[in-house]
């Protein structure tokens, strides 16, 4: 399972970027909710150690257990339905002692690993209609288990990651074109139906979030409240911010105008306290980490490694865009954490685990190149 790798093939840039993001998260959470800072710091350290450990484990050995990975993922998601903890009308968490575990977060990584091996095994048949239907069915089962929790935002992320996986797996452009031709009009029609008073597609709170995005003034004290205050907080930080843990009476955070800012709205805390410079730093680090994953995917020695690295790059890119888009009111409100930054040990450690596999893909590609030269 372990191999002799060359130090020069180790992706220190990627390690530095995700470590800086995690450090920023610990600092920001200390301001948003100081009582949670120590737990987030512990999660960041534990995640970092797991990332380094996994980076030296041959990912191909792990991928051989792909059906066990898929089955284990389904078991965890089914456990949410049976023994999951209800919070604000959603059943998404499993209580393990004093820790709360969210299987939908680990599902993102586990599905990337599963499809990395599955598509690599059947890569010659990936563009057959039968294989596409099988892939759709395989993603459909965990997607539905997440969707009914209900967790619309994570189920959307699962679909986005699946699209990246299929693209990296070599799906034909004719299928991509057909999906866009059918999907874009279907999405427009779906949204137009979803905003009608008598619609049955979305839950009431989901529909109101879309309506609040379309007409924020009407929902300024309800569904649009969080996002409007988030925009105010980010804008008030201006260029340099108001300072870390400031006691300004004009602080949106200090006035508790954003509930649970340590999770989905952590970017607004960064914007208010560290200003435009802090926001740009986070965005550049996210972009850098995602692009580095894509660079690793391009150099991967096999299809499985390419899908792992591309899947993680897509996860970081899309989830960051959605989270920051929500806090800046560019898209309707969802419940996705900012990778490596938002509070949540399941999300944090899952991201570190995913990066650990990407690091091994990079080491393997360098190891393979060195072997070919010899």
Distance (Å, rounded) from C-alpha 174 to C-alpha 181?
Answer: 10
Distance (Å, rounded) from C-alpha 141 to C-alpha 136?
Answer: 9
Task: Please say whether the beta carbons of 113 and 78 come within 8 A.
Answer: no
In the sheet that 99-101 helps form, which strands lie side by side, from edge to edge?
Answer: 85-87, 90-96, 99-101
As given in the structure block, the two tokens for residue 374 are: 């010899």
- Which 3-state string (H, E, C) describes 113-129? HHHHHHHHHCHHHCCCH
Task: Please say whether the beta carbons of 3 and 268 come within 8 A.
Answer: no
As given in the structure block, the two tokens for residue 6 are: 């060359």
β-strand partners of 93: 85
- CB atoms under 10 Å from CB of 3, counted, come to 11
Would the CA dihedral through 264, 266, 271, 277 be positive or negative?
negative
- CB atoms under 10 Å from CB of 207, counted, come to 17
pLDDT in tens, the chain (374 residues): 556 778 888 899 999 999 999 999 999 999 888 889 999 999 999 999 999 999 999 999 999 999 999 999 999 999 988 887 776 667 788 887 777 889 999 999 999 999 999 999 999 999 999 999 999 999 999 999 998 888 888 999 999 999 999 999 989 888 888 888 888 888 888 778 777 877 777 777 777 888 888 888 888 877 888 888 899 889 988 998 888 877 766 677 766 777 778 889 999 999 999 999 999 999 999 999 999 999 999 999 999 999 999 999 999 999 999 999 999 999 888 889 999 999 989 999 999 999 999 999 999 886 555 545 44
Contact residues for 244 (Cβ-Cβ < 8 A; gap 6+):
27, 31, 273, 274
Q: DSSP state, 342?
A: S
Count of all residues that appear for the chain in the document = 374
- Sort 41 into a burial class: Cβ within 10 Å, 0-12 / 13-18 / 19+: middle
| pTM for this prediction | 0.91
Helix, strand or coil, per DSSP, at residue 102: coil
Task: Please say whether the beta carbons of 127 and 175 come within 8 A.
Answer: yes
Query: Is the backbone peptide bond immediately before 150 cis, with ω within 30 degrees of 0?
Result: yes
């Amino acid at each position: 399972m372990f191999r002799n790798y060359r130090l020069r093939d180790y992706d220190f840039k990627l390690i530095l970027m995700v470590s800086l993001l995690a450090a920023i998260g610990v600092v920001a959470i200390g301001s948003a909710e100081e009582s949670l800072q120590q737990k987030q710091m512990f999660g960041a350290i534990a995640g970092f150690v797991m990332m380094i450990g996994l980076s030296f484990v041959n990912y191909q050995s792990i991928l051989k257990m792909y059906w066990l990975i898929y089955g284990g993922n389904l078991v965890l998601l089914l456990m949410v339905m049976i023994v999951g903890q209800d919070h604000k009308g959603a059943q998404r968490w499993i209580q393990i002692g004093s820790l709360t575990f969210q299987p939908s977060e680990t599902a993102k990584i586990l599905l990337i690993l599963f499809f990395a091996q599955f598509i690599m095994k059947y890569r010659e048949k990936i563009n057959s209609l039968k294989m596409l239907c099988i892939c759709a069915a395989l993603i459909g089962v965990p997607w539905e288990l997440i969707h009914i929790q209900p967790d619309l935002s994570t189920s959307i992320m699962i679909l986005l990651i699946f699209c990246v996986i299929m693209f990296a797996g070599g799906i034909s452009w004719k299928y991509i074109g057909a999906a866009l031709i059918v999907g874009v009009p279907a999405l427009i029609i779906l949204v137009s139906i979803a905003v009608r008073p008598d619609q049955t597609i979305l839950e009431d709170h989901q529909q109101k979030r879309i309506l609040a995005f379309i007409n924020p003034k009407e929902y300024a004290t309800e569904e649009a409240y969080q996002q409007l205050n988030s925009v105010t907080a980010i804008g008030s930080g201006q260029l340099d911010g108001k300072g870390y843990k400031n006691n300004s009476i004009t602080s949106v955070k200090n006035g508790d105008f954003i509930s649970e800012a340590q999770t989905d709205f952590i970017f607004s805390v960064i914007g208010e306290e560290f200003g435009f410079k802090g926001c740009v730093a986070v965005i550049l680090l996210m972009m850098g980490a995602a692009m580095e994953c894509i660079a690793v995917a391009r150099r991967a020695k096999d299809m499985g490694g390419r899908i792992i690295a591309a899947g993680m790059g897509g996860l970081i890119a899309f989830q960051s865009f959605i989270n920051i888009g929500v806090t800046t009111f560019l898209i309707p409100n969802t419940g996705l954490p900012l990778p490596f930054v938002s509070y949540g040990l399941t999300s944090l450690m899952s991201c570190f685990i995913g990066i650990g596999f990407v690091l091994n893909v990079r080491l393997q590609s360098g190891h393979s190149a060195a072997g070919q030269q010899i």
